[in-house]
Amino acid sequence: MKTAEKLLKKVEGGTVLTPKGFQAGGIHAGLRYSKKDVGLLMSESPAAAAAVYTQNHFQAAPLKVTQESIQHSGKIQAIIVNSAIANACTGEQGLKDAYEMRRLVAKRLDLVEEHVAVASTGVIGEFLQMDKIAHGIEQVEVSNGLEGAKSFQEAILTTDTFQKSACYELEVGGKTVTIGGAAKGSGMIHPNMATMLGFVTTDANIDSTLLHKTLKEITNESFNQITVDGDTSTNDMVLVLANGMADHEPLTEGHPDFEQFKEGLKAVCVDLAKQIARDGEGATKLVEVNVTGAQTKEEANIIAKKIVGSSLVKTAVYGRDGNWGRIVAAVGYSDAKVEPDQVSIYIGPYLMFQNGLPQSFSEELVTEYLAKETVTITVHLNNGTEKGKAWGCDLTYDYVKINASYRT
């Protein structure tokens, strides 16, 4: 019997437009100096929709409008996104502007208004330049090719240094199902569902209720397990559209290929999440933390995220310093159940700490390992059977430079 992992295939060069029936584009509307700043993603037909949102109390206006749209029928056909301005902490005017973005897209594409989702990213506390956004909505062209995907991906970026996309395919009922995604995020990243936006498309046939349940579970093992700087944005959102164009029997939890679909959706979300972590503002390294032997998966995830989020661990990685004491400290203040005399810690392949005691190691070899672009830290709690992962990046001088002058 084939496993889900073996049936799952990464589509090299695949994008958010690789699944059947999706188009996208982006345009420079003038919100930013020169780069594209208004993006449009759409499905040929209304798609089952699911989303998770920031838990920040100051939730931005676009998220409120998108929640209302999805609650209307569980269907979304188009997503309008702007960068440069977050439309957060903008009161009634901000909400009015988000509704106006929805209305303008619905009018141009002849859609039901509630079939349009809205997203914004950028500076908090500034009002949208609606004349420029209206012009962008009117002029943006969409296509289903690579250029359309790249154009959309550029339009959603802020301080990101590269575009983020992922695509996987699998089989459901003998039919090929594709799941693609695009995301942005570089700073203010500590999702709790920063500024982080994720858009996932699939031609799978699944209803909105089950899609939402599945996305929520997967988010806790992907986007919610990354951190760059510990700051949760006002605008975080991950939105999934499933238009059913793969033409298979509807997925249910009892369907023999449901777990396969779930693994595919998780693969896309983890892939995008790792790219966001790698692109942390000023970062030079992706840091992955693996925790095994925990009593619960939740505790394993908590410890992993505490370690990867520690400023002291992050600066040690940047400085190529095998200071395992900082890792021990992060494990110890994690609020998870830990037996200190049972814990082992590795930096890459090198054992640093075992059963509550330091171990001899080569400083030279560890320093050499920490120079790599991807650094793995492993913690064995030896206190249970559950495991967890988290991803982050190192903390550099450039992070301070970028954020000290973000508005100027």
d(CA 219, CA 301): 12
Sketch out the chain's domains with CATH numbers. Answer: 4-278 (3.60.70.12), 286-404 (3.10.20.340)
With 0-12 / 13-18 / 19 or more C-beta atoms within 10 angstroms meaning exposed / middle / buried, residue 24 is buried
CB neighbour burial string for 215-228, b if at least 16 within 10 angstroms, e if fewer: beebbbbbbbbbbb
pLDDT in tens, 126-175: 999 999 999 999 999 999 999 999 999 999 998 788 899 999 999 999 99
In the structure, what pLDDT confidence band is assigned to residue 298 with cuts at 50, 70 and 90?
A: very high
With 0-12 / 13-18 / 19 or more C-beta atoms within 10 angstroms meaning exposed / middle / buried, residue 283 is buried
Phi, psi at 339, each rounded to 5° = -105, 100
Question: Strands 374-380, 344-347: parallel, antiparallel or unpaired by DSSP?
Answer: antiparallel
pLDDT in tens, 204-241: 999 999 999 999 999 988 888 876 544 455 678 899 99
Beta bridge partners of 306: none
pLDDT in tens, 304-347: 999 998 999 999 999 999 999 999 999 998 888 889 999 999 99
Give the residue from 16, 9, 30 showing the smallest Cα distance to 240: 16
Instruction: Find out whether 270 and 221 touch, Cβ atoms under 8 Å.
Output: yes
Please give the model's pTM, rounded to 2 decimal places: 0.85
Residue 246, token pair as written in the block: 């793969």
Q: Does position 371 have pLDDT exceeding 70, yes or no?
A: yes
What residues are labeled active site? 195
The predicted structure's pLDDT at residue 225: 86
Beta bridge partners of 77: none
For the chain, give the percent of residues with pLDDT over 90: 76
Residue 349, token pair as written in the block: 């392949």
The predicted structure's pLDDT at residue 136: 97
d(CA 381, CA 300): 9
